[in-house]
Amino acid sequence: MNGLGGLNKSPNGVVIGLVQLQLPNVATKADLTRQTARVVELVAKARANLAGMDLVVFPEYALHGLSMDMNPEIMCTLDGPEVAALKQACIDNAIWGCFSIMEANPGGNPFNSGLIIDDRGEVKLYYRKMHPWVPVEPWEPGDVGIPVIDGPKGAKLALIICHDGMFPEMARECAYKGAEIMIRTAGYTAPIRSSWRFTNQANAFCNLMVTANVCMCGSDGTFDSMGEGMIVNFDGEIIAHGITGRADEIITAEVRPDLVREARLHWGVENNIYQFGHRGFTAVKGGAGDCPYTYMQDLVDGRYRLPWENDVKVTDGTSCGFPAPTRQYGGQPRAKREAAE
């Protein structure tokens, strides 16, 4: 069910609006200021569009466009004017908002960060993209994990960004930490359309979790983004889908976190988020709770290595015009830390 896009809101429903934002060109501070004002306008449009909307979600790159420009002049900070304007928009329109910023990083490349701001203007969730879309994106890998918060109506919310959603481990981490709704914001272009759709559905079904997903939309003269706002129910069924590709359209649906909770407790067949840690519980009391997955063990111990590792051709961003990096990542795996010590 989607309550006719949220027009018929149930007492336990959470209405989500996904803004298929027109892809901008942002090269200067003045451009950034104008684009921030446009996002603020669309927060007001979302509220006027649907009085019962609880959460409005903007895509990745909503303020910056797809240039991958790391010019310090157009980087944001958490205490800067852009975030202040987004906070005020949520207050003025009594609505929760999910936003994207490219965040200045004095210690290295900027972070690709996401914020969820409540209807009182408080930042409730702060996330840094864990898996930049290499080799295309130059952003520093995220270092704050995946937070899960209490959102509208007490729904448990998580946020991941774009390429993060291609890793099933990301959605599983969100669900494992309690998320009932996982937001995925993106700037993807048309070649990713099919994989965008099936990963959004798989992330939902494999974790008994609603996924709310939206891309930038339209053309900036170079890139063509696809919109593709999708809200997927916990059984993997699409309940709202922006298939027209119309820029600035807001795709809406009501979702039911209470039914997510019910399914996680009462489903037997395909309760995969539970069964993953309780293998074969029909045969073995409580199921097997070991970790039989070599890649997990190796990653934790700093030994992650593919059988074809030596033959991988693209291992930095030079093919996309970025210089080869020289800094080591600070958050090294256990084995590397121990060796360094």
**Residues designated catalytic:** 60, 129, 162
DSSP state of 264: H
**Quick one: tokens of 50?**
């649907």
Contact by Cβ (8 Å): 73, 37: no
Largest Cα separation within the chain, whole Å, is: 65
Distances (CA, A) of 28 to 18, 64, 71, 136, 216: 27, 10, 9, 21, 20
Q: For 21-108, where are the E strands, in sequence order?
A: 55-57, 96-103
Of 75, 72, 78, nearest to 64 by C-alpha is 75
Residues forming a β-bridge with 15: 254
Residues forming a β-bridge with 126: 115
Distances (CA, A) of 54 to 46, 99, 328, 330: 10, 15, 42, 38
Displacement of CA 276 from its chain's centroid (Å): 23
Distances (CA, A) of 152 to 54, 94, 120, 157, 159: 6, 11, 12, 9, 14
Backbone angles phi, psi at 65, to 5 degrees: 70, -175
